[in-house]
Structure 1
């Protein structure tokens, strides 16, 4: 009986040793952790400055007796713009913002055929100053990000408050007439844009872009003392090419993923 128990004990020890040897030959278990990238999104503020190049508008002088008198050789000076806005990054590819812009005064100039002039073919020089406030709701598609640069395209709709002032007329004989009253009106406005953002940090980024903007029309005050009664000058097709540079601040640090340590194998000291 003693010999049987001794052999059974030796067999048990052999089994334990064999199991330990086999376990030592197995690879160390590794539990990998896949980091979760937070969803894109967050509010941002923006500020912009830009330079506007206006296309040539269409000018006319509305006279109750002779109707619309179309101008010739119309032009509209360049202007500066300043803007602010608040927006939201919906996901990695789409964002939207609401912007308020002010566009400084630009002088519109046209030449009207002189009715009743002694010499045929003479023109009077007609001018007016035009400045604009715009409120726009914009949407952008962020195409992708390469080396912190994110190109985008977008579109916007809104309203433009177009104000015309300082109406002046210079006749061929050198006589002048001035009308200092302001006349403002709200127009439907729309824009198309393209540009690129460069992210200095997860919060701060530089935005450089181009915007094509249609602002509608402008009308001067009614001119009641030009001989024929209530006349009004009108400038149509107010379209501008804007080149803008701005800064954006994103409150939650943008869409950048946090830094994670690489996955490490789990080991035991036992």
Structure 2
């Protein structure tokens, strides 16, 4: 019995030493460090735009007199803005646009302005220019080969300046009315695409629908009434192109656990 016990003990000791020797021969575990992965975090940007503005026909009236054949000439628009990209799908900016002077023309029915005091219509003209401030939000729909299509909307206010109001009657009489400037609620819808030349500079081209609101003359008296000329429902379609410059910002990194290779 003692002989058997001694043999088992010697076998156990041999096993321990052989295991230790094998462990000593194995290489140490290798810890593989994976590089930190940068993620899109956004950044501040500046933008500048130019565009071509196509006005829809407005609704114009004075007291109970409804104008006819109203039209606003096409014009140009320039703008600047500052914004922030929150992630790869959402960005927002505040923009200031100046819409160059557009010429209004329409006809106002009159009871005695025709030749010989007959009923007719006068020719009414005015110059309208607009400043617009908008807060805009955009949803970028993904990027393919540096092209990023987007849709967006904006709300804000427009300062509508009406000036150079004149009338000309068929009987040869003419005159002028006082213009005025007013703030009006405005809103916009837009769609387009940008092309990234590099991480900082992008070309932006798109369409914008802009509802400017209303414009007014000063209050004056004529044709037995005292009122303002109302230039209502001013709205336009715009084709715009511009540049957007995004400032460098320190990238954020996703934490990654190291991989340990065991043998």
Normalising TM by the smaller chain, what interval?
0.7 to 0.9
Per the TM alignment, residue 178 of structure 1 is displaced from its structure 2 partner at its CA by: 1.9
- CA contact 2:83–2:92 (8 Å) conserved in 1: yes
- Structure 2 equivalent of residue 4 of structure 1: none
Separation (CA, whole Å) in 2 of partners of 1:245 and 1:122: 45
Match of 2:160 among 162, 172, 184: 162
Tell me the secondary structure at the aligned position of residue 39 of structure 2: coil
The question of 1:125 aligning with 2:126 is answered no
Task: Write out aligned runs for 1:1-270 (5 A).
Answer: 31=32, 33=34, 35-62=36-63, 68-116=64-112, 117=114, 118=116, 122-179=120-177, 181-224=178-221, 226=222, 228=224, 230-252=226-248
Tell me the secondary structure at the aligned position of residue 237 of structure 1: strand
- Structure 2 equivalent of residue 65 of structure 1: none
Deviations 1:234-266 (A, max 9, x none): 1111000011111111002698x99xxxxxxx9
CA 1:254 to 1:92, structure 2 compared with 1: closer, same or farther past 3 Å? farther
- CA contact 2:111–2:119 (8 Å) conserved in 1: no
Structure with the higher fraction of residues in strand conformation: 2
Aligned residues: 239
TM-score by length of 1: 0.78
Tell me the secondary structure at the aligned position of residue 166 of structure 1: strand
Tell me the secondary structure at the aligned position of residue 145 of structure 1: coil
Structure 2 unmatched runs, 5+: 1-13, 254-260
Tell me the secondary structure at the aligned position of residue 241 of structure 2: strand
CA RMSD between the two structures: 3.1
Separation (CA, whole Å) in 1 of partners of 2:87 and 2:250: 10
Structure 1 unmatched runs, 5+: 1-10, 63-67, 259-265
- CA contact 2:179–2:216 (8 Å) conserved in 1: no
Per the TM alignment, residue 220 of structure 1 is displaced from its structure 2 partner at its CA by: 1.4
